[in-house]
Amino acid sequence: MVAGFVGAAVLLLVANVLGFVGGGQTDAGAVKGAYAALRTSGLTPQQIYEKHAGSVVEITATFPGSYDVFGQQTGGGQALGTGFVVSEDGYILTNAHVVSQSGQAVSTVTVTFKGDGTQGAQVEGTVLGADESTDVALIKVDPSQTPGLVPIPLGDSSTVTVGEEVVAIGNPLGLDFSLSSGVVSATDRELQSPNGATISGGIQTDAAINHGNSGGPLINAEGQVIGINEQIASQGGGNEGIGFAVPINTAVQVMEQIKAGTLPQPAPAADPYGDGSTISPY
């Protein structure tokens, strides 16, 4: 099994995708009846999409690249992911690995909102902070450039139960604003973050998640975000019905720390010579 982050669906000028993400016929009537029997309350996937797709965004991060000790350029290019609006004044949650590379977050990103047809409004967003230990990042856009922002309600991930219906909205493989649906397959999974830390309380789902879905919302039948889609477990690199989301309670805690400027900073890089010097590229 290969666990992968699913944030970067499209990497231009870069060889690898960001992250680790990182037969038989069926009686349609019987399936429809079984599905109807499962639903007792809440919104249908269609209703959730109609209500909240406009609050989901496409995020394009452009990385400047760097030079190795031989003077050769490495990294760089563009990565595509997903985010969602959490406040009327322009705050957007996503995954840290959507907007950071090798632990370094970009300063600005392009945020695309869903519009008529394929033409959505594009604005510049500022990355306020990215925490690789929880794989959560916070972006801010100018609300005057995007009037009428409608945030998606946030749920309580501590109350999530196995079997409840969920949907994911995102940009898998660059196919913008796609919907997939499924159920919560398991709770309290331990996920590995981009920097190797453990994210507790992870939500497992069989809703289809692919590269580009990272940073997008996992939404319950009440229309509330319960997690941020982050990883897949796959033998072939694509969706095999085993996806994972960072619990929204964790994401909210990190968001508030970023806003307050109290997010713990990573330890400084080691000083190999003990004199404060660094190695610069040619």
Q: Which residues are catalytic?
A: 97, 135, 214
CB 7 within 8 A of CB 76: no
Strands 2-5 and 56-63: unpaired
Q: Which helix or strand (DSSP H or E) is residue 46 part of?
A: helix 45-52
Instruction: Report the first-to-last Cα separation within the chain, whole angstroms.
Output: 40
The beta strand positions in 72-192, using DSSP E, are 73-74, 77-85, 91-94, 100-101, 104-105, 108-113, 122-131, 136-141, 165-170, 178-192
**CA nearest to 250, candidates 160, 179, 172, 168:** 160
Count of Cβ atoms closer than 10 Å to residue 22 Cβ:
25
The backbone torsions φ and ψ at residue 95, rounded to the nearest 5 degrees and listed phi first, read -90, 150
Question: Look-up: residue for tokens 């695309």?
Answer: 112
Cα 132 from Cα 192, distance rounded (Å):
10
CA 94 – CA 64 distance, rounded (Å): 20
Let me know how long the chain is.
Answer: 282
> What span, in angstroms and rounded, lies between the C-alpha atoms of 200 and 231?
14
Residue 30 to residues 37, 38, 163, Cα–Cα distance (Å): 11, 13, 19
How far is the C-alpha of 225 from the C-alpha of 187, rounded, in Å? 15
Specify the 3-state DSSP secondary structure of 195: coil
